[in-house]
């Protein structure tokens, strides 16, 4: 689902439990300085096109493209029981789709990219925000900001999820290392979970070295 | 000027020198947790409506509302000699307009807000970014990110500008203290300039205590 400007579903605001997915290209700022402007936009558009296709497949709502970042919501404006599961599966599928993005980048003489994804689950305020001239359906609040902070902890190719997302998942999650970080607005140190794969009905696993894979398999939750 | 989605001015990307203005409500995340969802959206919309009006007056391009943030570009898609001057004047006018926003907030039983603004000048890549289904005119690159970092150094009511913005200004700038910060991606410590007012033809000054005012007047550049 993609929302157009002036998608007037809710004029006021409402509290919604959602899973928020934020992705960006790691090191894009430095990358953009090495590229010509047309290459830079071509690279972004290869990436956005592929990611939008994946998000639609998992019925996420693309709320924003900001710079090289993508903000996707699962659970607003429409919610479903499997919002969190679809968000996790979408994150894995997005990482898998980077392979095709990089194949296209190579064909276009563009550098390869790596993406980081942060996942968080919780209440947000959803509604139409903006001015009379320009408004859009969007989400705001503490949990949106928190997702950005989680995403900023990722390295290329990584998915990190908050404890709330892991708790809300009903699908099997193949998890890797816990990454303990101290995040502004999240109190004490918090253990983020690295997500390596997701169980049925999605059945998606990130490629990884064989020895690491054996260790990870033992950690299936 | 406001840009709609699918404002198809430039399909490819181009390098543009622009002045970037980023504003946000200081402490909005905490504020949003104290407010009901409808109040939260009402507060945001009071604020966005007033700020959009000011931006239009100074012929800035509202590129984004993200959460409580506003990204405005001066110099793309159309550029003019006074892009930087209008950006500085716009920042001062936006801070002055917060008085009216807060009057309306009081009338609506909403809390008062304070806004921080960051200004930066330099090359960005401008073009239509997104997917086939949803694209928008936007700017990306190092200088956009840098503006966000400058903005994050502000306190409520404050405008901080990068050295590049001060150098590009041809209008008189009433400046306050220098704020020396170390910003990721900006090399060594950089001295940001606090902007308190702007000369003719704009002639706008932020209210401030009389004793500070005398000191500041001596600093007119």
Chain B residues closer than 8 Å to A65 by CB: 129-130, 134, 136, 138
Average pLDDT over residues A168-176: 96
Three-state DSSP class for B71? strand
From A131, which residue of chain B is nearest by alpha-carbon distance?
Answer: B49
Q: Are B16 and B139 in contact (CB under 8 A)?
A: yes
| B41 contact residues in A (CB cutoff 8 A) | 12-13, 125, 127-129
Within 8 A by CB and 6+ apart from A27, the residues are: A114, A156
Report how far apart, in Å, the C-alpha atoms of B215 and of each of A134, A141, A221, B152, B207 are.
41, 39, 64, 26, 14
> Distance (Å, rounded) from C-alpha A146 to C-alpha B109?
28
**Which residue in A14, A29, A125 is closest to B185 by CB distance?**
A29
What distances in angstroms separate CA A103 from CA A39, A99, A110, one per listed residue? 15, 6, 10
What confidence score (pLDDT) does residue A214 get? 47
- Distance of CA A37 to CAs A106, A135, A175, B6, B147, Å? 17, 29, 38, 19, 19
Judged by a CB distance cut-off of 8 A, whether residue A134 touches chain B is yes
Task: Write down the pLDDT at residue A12.
Answer: 76
Binned at pLDDT 50, 70 and 90, residue A9 comes out as very low
- Give the per-residue pLDDT at B131: 80
CB contact under 8 A, A37 and B134: no
Query: Which has the higher per-residue pLDDT, A63 or A5?
Result: A63
Query: Residue A185: which pLDDT band, with cuts at 50, 70 and 90?
Result: low
Q: Does A29 touch chain B (CB under 8 A)?
A: yes
The CA distance from A37 to B15, in Å, is: 6
CB atoms within 10 A of CB B55: 26
Distance from CA of B63 to the nearest CA of A (A): 10
Give the span between the Cα atoms of A18 and A125, in whole angstroms: 10
Q: Touching check for A184 and chain B: CB below 8 Å?
A: no
Radius of gyration (C-alpha) of chain A in whole angstroms: 17
Give the 3-state secondary structure of residue A71: strand
Give A133-150 pLDDT, tens digit per residue.
778 888 998 899 999 999
| Distance from the A191 Cα atom to the nearest Cα atom in chain B, whole angstroms | 22
Closest CA to A20 of A81, A80, A62, A82: A62
**pLDDT of res. B10:** 44
| Nearest residue in A to B127, CA atom | A41
DSSP element (H, E) containing A95 = helix A83-107
In a 3-state reduction of DSSP, which class is residue A175? strand
pLDDT band of residue A209 (cuts 50, 70, 90) is low
Q: Do B32 and A141 touch (CB under 8 A)?
A: yes
Residue A3 has pLDDT above 80, yes or no: no
Query: Nearest-CA neighbor of B125 among B52, B67, B64, B75?
Result: B75
Residue A172, Cβ density class (10 Å: 0-12 exposed, 13-18 middle, ≥19 buried): middle
Q: Give yes or no for residue A67 having a pLDDT over 60.
A: yes
Which pLDDT belongs to residue A10?
Answer: 44
Evaluate the omega torsion of the peptide bond into residue A219 and state whether it is cis, within 30 degrees of 0: no
What ipTM does the predicted assembly reach?
0.80
Q: Does A157 touch chain B (CB under 8 A)?
A: no
B31 and chain A in contact, CB less than 8 A: no
Task: For A188-205, write each residue's pLDDT tens digit.
Answer: 788 999 999 999 999 999
Nearest to A97 by CA among A34, A155, A159: A159
Residue in B15, B41, B48 nearest the CB of A127: B41
Hey, what CATH topology would domain A13-217 get? Alpha-Beta Plaits (3.30.70)
How many CB pairs below 8 A link A and B? 144
Annotate B81-147 with DSSP letters as a single string: TTHHHHHHHHHHHHHHHHHHHHHHHHHTT-----EEEEEEEEEEEEEEEE-SSSEEEEEESHHHHHH
pLDDT tens for residues B23-45?
999 989 888 888 989 999 999 99
Check CB contact of A187 with chain B, cutoff 8 Å. Answer: no
A217 pLDDT higher than 70: no
| Per-residue pLDDT at A175 exceeds 70 | yes
The answer to whether residue A142 neighbours chain B at the CB level (below 8 Å) is: yes
Inter-chain touch A129–B41, beta carbons under 8 Å: yes
Instruction: Spell out which residues of chain B touch residue A136, defining contact as CB-CB under 8 Å.
Output: 65
Q: Does B68 touch chain A (CB under 8 A)?
A: yes
How many Å lie between the alpha carbon of A208 and the closest alpha carbon of chain B? 29
- Rounded Cα distance between B123 and B143, Å, is 7
Contact criterion met (CB below 8 Å) for A157 and A95: yes
Digit-coded pLDDT (tens) for A103-127: 999 999 999 999 999 999 999 999 9
Residues of A in Cβ contact (< 8 Å) with B49 = 131-132
pLDDT at B9: 44
- Among the partner residues B51, B52, B130, nearest to A48 by beta-carbon distance: B130
Q: Are B179 and B130 in contact (CB under 8 A)?
A: no
A44 Cβ under 8 Å from any chain B Cβ: yes
Contacts of residue A43 in chain B, CB cutoff 8 Å?
Answer: none
* Alpha-carbon distance A84 to nearest alpha carbon in chain B (angstroms): 22
Would you call A177 an interface residue with chain B, using a CB distance cutoff of 8 Å? no
Q: Which positions in chain A touch B51 (Cβ < 8 Å)?
A: 131
> Position of tokens 């590049």?
B164
Q: What is the mean pLDDT, run by run of 10 residues, along chain B of 221 residues?
A: 46 89 93 90 94 96 89 94 98 98 95 97 92 82 92 95 97 93 78 96 84 49 42
Residues of B in contact with A9 (CB under 8 A): none
Quick check: B127 and A41 CB within 8 A? Answer: yes
pLDDT above 80 for A63: yes
């Amino acid at each position: 689902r993609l929302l157009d400007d002036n998608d007037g579903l809710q004029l006021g605001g409402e509290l919604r439990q959602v899973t928020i997915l934020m992705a960006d290209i790691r090191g894009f700022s430095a990358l953009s300085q090495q590229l010509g402007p047309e290459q830079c936009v071509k690279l972004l558009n290869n990436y956005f096109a592929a990611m939008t296709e994946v998000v639609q497949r998992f019925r996420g709502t693309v709320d924003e493209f900001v710079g090289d970042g993508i903000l996707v919501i699962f659970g607003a404006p429409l919610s479903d029981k499997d919002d969190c599961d679809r968000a996790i599966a979408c994150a894995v599928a997005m990482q898998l789709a980077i392979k095709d993005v990089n194949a296209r980048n190579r064909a276009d003489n563009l550098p390869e990219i790596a993406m980081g994804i942060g996942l968080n689950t919780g209440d947000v305020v959803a509604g139409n925000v903006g001015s009379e001239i320009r408004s859009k359906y969007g989400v705001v609040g503490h949990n949106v900001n928190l997702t950005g902070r989680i995403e900023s902890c990722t390295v290329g190719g990584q998915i990190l999820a908050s404890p709330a997302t892991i708790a809300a998942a009903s699908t099997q999650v193949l998890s890797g290392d816990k990454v303990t970080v101290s995040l502004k607005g999240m109190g004490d140190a918090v253990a983020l979970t690295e997500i390596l794969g997701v169980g049925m009905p999605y059945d998606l696993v990130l490629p990884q070295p064989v020895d690491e894979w054996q260790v990870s398999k033992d950690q299936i939750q």
